Structure 1
Amino acid sequence: MTGSTPQSLSTSRPQPVDDHRLEVIHAEQDAYTVDIRGHRLRVDQPLEAGGTDTAPTPTELFAASLAACVAFYAGRYLQRHGLPRAGLRVRAEFTMAADRPARVSSLRLVIAPPPDLPEQRRAGLLAVASHCTVHNTLHQPPEVDIELES
């Protein structure tokens, strides 16, 4: 869970400026429910991985998070320049590593800008979109602590 530091541990790390929390709760078999600010998402595994394929996998949501962040930044760029966002799309493709540890080894995002995007705005759109928060986080990974609740 982000933003939670056990009270018994003292740390000299700078404290986060903006804490966010979410909770993941077992639903059934390999399916889990993710509660975020009153919104509920579900994750599962595909049939071939032992799940029931009722929802995307956590790894698919990871790639979707990056694609959605890129789309958001691209959309804000278009809005700031008085350009329509209708038709803006971002496609994500990812490859899993063949070795251990299990991880995504590559991600490719393709931005399909709205039709009629002026040529002089294409480079700016790409530059702004490539600096979204999730992309920045992948380039400067956060410290991640996983612990058991007492």
Structure 2
Amino acid sequence: MSGSAPQTLDTDRTGSMDVHRLEVVHVEGDAYTVDVREHRLRVDQPLEAGGTDTAPTPTELFAASLATCVAYYAGRYLHRHGLPQTGLRVRTEFTMASDRPPRVASVRLVVVPPPELPERRRAALLAVASRCTVHNTLHQPPEVDVELEP
């Protein structure tokens, strides 16, 4: 971490007591670090976009966030039912929209269950995995405010 406490927003617009905070800090060029709790991630842009390609892009992390959330929910389902998680994978691909504004147009996730998963559990696994927090958020988008600090 940076050694200094991250700045906090002065108001909680959601009214919720469960506020999660992170901070993004410029490193160089198009590279940034993201401090999340006691973890640090890096983002960058590919060479063809002007970056140095030292890390995934924010859009790739967006897709990765969805894929890992689906994997987590699938894994928890397997764990709850005493089923093996070994071999569980989620393959993901996304496409960008060709018009404006720039955005992800589609995301395809393929849950690859463990080879030992009984056939009768496959539909339930998919149903649970499809209801992960990130997926739910995409279906019911949050209010997003972008502000400039005074």
C-alpha distance in 1 between matches for 2:14 and 2:24: 26
| Residue identity opposite 2:85 in structure 1 | R
CA distance in 2, matches of 1:112, 1:14: 36
Deviations 1:67-96 (A, max 9, x none): 000000000000000001111000111000
CA-CA distance at 1:46 after TM superposition: 0.2
**Hey, what does 1:59 align to over in structure 2?**
59
Q: CA RMSD in A?
A: 1.4
Q: How does the TM-score come out when normalised to structure 2?
A: 0.91
TM-score under structure 1 normalisation?
Answer: 0.91
Runs (5+) with no aligned partner, structure 2 = 1-7
Equivalent position amino acid for 2:118 in 1 = P
Structure 1 unaligned residues grouped into runs of 5+:
none
Q: Cα distance, 1:18 vs. partner? A: 1.5
Question: How many residues of Structure 1 are paired with residues of Structure 2 in the alignment?
Answer: 143
Q: Residue 84 of structure 2 contacts residue 116 of structure 2 at CA under 8 Å; is this kept in 1?
A: no
**Residue in structure 2 matched with residue 140 of structure 1 by the alignment:** 140
1:36 aligned onto 2:48: no
Question: Identity of counterpart residues, as a percentage?
Answer: 77
Runs ≥4 residues deviating over 4 A: 4-7
CA distance in 1, matches of 2:69, 2:41: 17
Distance 2:9 2:54 in 1: 33
| Aligned: 1:19 with 2:19 | yes
Please state how far the C-alpha of 1:116 moved relative to its aligned partner: 1.3
